[in-house]
């Protein structure tokens, strides 16, 4: 019995997205990697086809669909041999901050563009000296009458070059409690004092536009505050359950795709003895062991998806799933490289790119060490 129940509408959506990916994404993946950038036009095509912000309510231009549509998008994009088009970051991590905490005026102003793909979003938390430890951030936001003045810098911001809208975490320097000093603000591209820095060259995820962002006396309307002043840390914590679940879904789907390709290669490639590589006992055992881990991961994550959709608190479990699945996909890629021998290190094989791309999975959205720390605290250790 399947844990998740997909309707005919879900299945039709998956088929339509897979066809879209075959036509619009996969043929261009290598070009995007070479250019180190995803063209904005593909975001607009995704929006026009109904593949962005699927759970946004209809009154803001969305489709009002359930989280399973997000799961489908994550799974299908994991099969496109590129990591630059991070739709899940936009649709399932950044935009929910606006739909959950933005005023009615803010939601009507900004959300329709995120659904159509005309507005690409980013979230700016990480700083040169503050990564997983959010309370160490130095970016400040000072309320001055009807305005808020932001000063500071952010780094390793995904969608940093293409973004038209950024959710920025900044602190009040006069608030002594670091947990009550953080607030979230919306900053538009083109706002005076907001500048995008260089696009960062990374080990992997080459087509993903990761960059630095700078705020120099950046003045925004006070209405661009999300939620209550000083409530940023709590809001970030409330949304991390879905963010980490999204990471786990992508890791399992990516591992499954990589393993499928490796199995196909081993079945159809002859060894020196003239037999398929899959006829080697060592190869067969390795494939079985990896397949077991992928199935275990998928079962765990599917259960968490169901519980998350049911409104249950699974913070501990999603933190566990984030660290375990992202370590699992690294093990899977590494072992698949062993099985495919020389071919695995060639650029025509997806494994070389996968090895570079998946390494960061255990770092972003909170390092895996932080995941374990969170779990241990909840467990009273």
DSSP state of 201: P
Task: Let me know: does 293 contact 247? Beta carbons within 8 Å.
Answer: no
Give 189-199 pLDDT, tens digit per residue: 999 999 999 88
How sure is the predictor about 128, in pLDDT bands with cuts at 50, 70 and 90?
confident
With CA atoms as reference, report the closest residue to 115 among 35, 206, 48.
48
Q: Which of 201, 191, 251 is nearest to 224 (CA)?
A: 191
- Identify the pLDDT of residue 131: 67
Asked if 374 and 315 touch (Cβ cutoff 8 Å), the reply is yes
Convert 146-166 to b/e letters by CB count within 10 Å (16 or more is b). Answer: eebbbbbbbbbbbbbbbbbbb
- 8-119 and 122-229: identical CATH topology: no
Q: How confident is the model at residue 347 (pLDDT cuts 50, 70, 90)?
A: confident
pLDDT category at 345 given cuts 50, 70, 90 is confident
Task: Specify the pTM.
Answer: 0.93
- Distance of alpha carbon 174 from alpha carbon 181, whole angstroms: 8
Q: What is the pLDDT of residues 212-267, one digit of tens each?
A: 999 999 999 999 999 999 999 899 888 988 999 999 999 999 999 999 999 999 99
The dihedral built from the CA positions of residue 271, 277, 279 and 284, taken in this order, carries a sign that is positive
* pLDDT confidence bin for 92, thresholds 50/70/90: very high
User: What would be the CATH architecture of the domain defined by 234-378?
Assistant: Up-down Bundle (1.20)
What is each CA distance from 94 to 34, 114, 243, 329, in whole angstroms?
27, 10, 9, 25
CB contact at 8 A, 281 and 288: no
Instruction: Return the domain boundaries, the chain.
Output: 8-119, 122-229, 234-378
Average pLDDT rounded to a whole number, residues 278-297:
96
Buried/exposed 285-294: b ≥16 CB within 10 Å, e otherwise:
ebbeebbebb
As given in the structure block, the two tokens for residue 179 are: 């947990």
Q: Which CATH number fits domain 8-119: 3.40.50.1980, 1.10.540.10, 1.10.8.60, 3.40.50.720?
A: 1.10.540.10
Which percentage of the chain shows pLDDT scores above 90?
76
Structure token pair of residue 52: 């962005």
Q: Do the beta carbons of residue 93 and residue 267 sit within 8 Å? A: no
**Distance set, CA 16 to CA 11, 12, 278 (Å):** 9, 6, 33
CATH architecture of 122-229: Beta Barrel (2.40)
Q: What is the DSSP string of 15-49?
A: HHHHHHIIIIIGGGHHHHHHHTS--HHHHHHHHHT
Rounded CA separation 172/181 (Å): 5
pLDDT tier, 367 (very low <50, low <70, confident <90, very high otherwise)? confident
Which residues touch 369 (CB under 8 Å, ≥6 apart)?
none
Specify whether 243 is catalytic: yes
Mean pLDDT lowest among 153-162, 272-281, 294-303, 340-349 = 340-349
User: What pLDDT score was predicted for residue 365?
Assistant: 82
Tokens found for residue 133:
């430890």
Name every residue whose Cβ is closer than 8 Å to that of residue 27 and which is 6 or more positions away in sequence.
none
Q: Identify the sign of the CA torsion 373, 377, 378, 381.
A: positive
Q: What length does the chain have?
A: 381
Strands (E), 37-99: none
Catalytic residue among 243, 293, 317, 369: 243
Average pLDDT over residues 20-32: 95
Two tokens at 1? 């019995």
């Amino acid at each position: 019995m399947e844990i998740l129940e997909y309707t005919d509408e879900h299945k039709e959506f998956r088929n339509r997205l897979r066809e879209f990916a075959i036509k619009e994404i996969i043929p261009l993946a290598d070009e995007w990697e070479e250019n180190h950038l995803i063209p904005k036009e593909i975001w607009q095509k995704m929006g026009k086809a109904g593949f962005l912000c699927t759970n946004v309510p209809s009154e803001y231009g969305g489709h009002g669909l359930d989280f399973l549509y997000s799961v489908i998008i994550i799974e299908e994009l994991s099969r496109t041999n590129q990591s630059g088009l991070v739709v899940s970051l936009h649709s399932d991590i950044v935009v929910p901050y606006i739909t959950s905490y933005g005023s009615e005026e803010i939601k009507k102003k900004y959300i329709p563009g995120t659904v159509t793909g005309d507005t690409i979003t980013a979230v700016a938390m990480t700083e040169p000296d503050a990564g997983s430890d959010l309370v160490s951030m130095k970016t400040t936001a000072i309320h001055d009458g009807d305005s808020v003045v932001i000063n500071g810098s952010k780094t390793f911001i995904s969608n940093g070059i293409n973004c038209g809208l950024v959710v920025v975490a900044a602190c009040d320097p006069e608030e002594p409690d670091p947990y009550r000093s953080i607030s979230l603000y919306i900053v538009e591209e083109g706002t005076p004092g907001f500048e995008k820095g260089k696009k960062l060259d990374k080990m992997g995820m080459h087509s993903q536009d990761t960059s630095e962002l700078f705020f120099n006396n950046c003045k925004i309307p006070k209405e661009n505050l999300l939620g209550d002043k000083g409530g940023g840390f709590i809001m970030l914590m409330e949304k991390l359950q879905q963010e980490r679940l999204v990471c786990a879904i992508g890791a399992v789907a990516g591992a499954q795709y990589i393993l499928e390709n490796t199995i196909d290669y081993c079945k159809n490639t002859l060894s020196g003895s003239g037999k398929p590589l899959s006829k080697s006992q060592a190869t067969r055992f390795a494939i079985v062991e990896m397949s077991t881990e992928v199935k275990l991961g998928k079962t765990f994550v599917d259960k968490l998806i169901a519980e998350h959709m049911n409104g249950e608190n699974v913070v501990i479990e999603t933190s566990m799933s984030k660290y375990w699945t992202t370590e699992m996909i690294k093990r899977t890629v590494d072992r698949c490289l062993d099985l495919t021998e020389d071919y695995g290190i060639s650029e025509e094989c997806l494994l070389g790119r996968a090895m570079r791309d998946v390494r960061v999975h255990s770092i972003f959205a909170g390092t895996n060490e932080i995941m374990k720390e969170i779990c241990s605290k909840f467990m009273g250790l």
